[in-house]
Amino acid sequence: MNEAATGATPVEDRGYRPCAGIMLLNSASHVWVGRRLDMTSHAWQMPQGGIDPGETAEAAALRELEEETGVTPALVEIIAASRDWYRYDLPPELVRDRWGGRYKGQRQRWYVMRFLGQDSDINIATDAPEFCEWRWSEAAELPHHIVPFKRPVYEALLKEFSAFL
């Protein structure tokens, strides 16, 4: 049985925060990215966030997308999910500051979603904003604008989801 069926966390994934990520594509197959509010660098990333206890990764992805971008589930179509979970480790200097020091990184299930709305449907001025600006990006640019410790995940996602880009 796989993890989704049992709810169990594989031993190698213990210590990693469960998370869902979204590669949101517009009609030109450009990818939505936001510049994080809490970073001093100009780090741009795709929406992502933690999976709550009892929540599926897909439900978390839809919830996080709405919380971070204002894009409701009615404005997207899920077109793919990653075959496996991706992991990244936080740099040591960030471990104690993020998530109360409980996790050494994240394990993520990623979803490709087609945006069915208009740019005016996107609202990053949410109750708890995470981004200070947003844009549509060429997929090939993604690894160049993400923080270095997440770069391998973004490069792997580009390979896995290349048929949609």
- What pLDDT does 12 receive? 56
| pLDDT tens, position by position, 63-102 | 999 999 999 999 999 999 999 999 999 887 776 666 566 7
| pLDDT tens, position by position, 2-46 | 444 334 555 456 789 999 999 999 999 999 999 998 776 778 999
- What pLDDT does 96 receive? 65
Query: Contact at 8 Å (CB) between 128 and 35?
Result: no
Provide the CB-side half-sphere exposure for 123 (13 A, CA): 11
- What pLDDT does 1 receive? 33
| pLDDT tens, position by position, 118-131 | 999 999 999 899 99
Residue pointed to by tokens 């970073």: 39
> Mind listing the domains of the chain with CATH numbers?
15-164 (3.90.79.10)
What is the enclosing helix (H) or strand (E) of 112? strand 105-115
- What pLDDT does 13 receive? 61
Q: CB neighbours of 158 closer than 8 A, spacing ≥ 6?
A: 139, 140, 142, 143, 165
Closest C-alpha among 45, 46, 73 to residue 58: 73
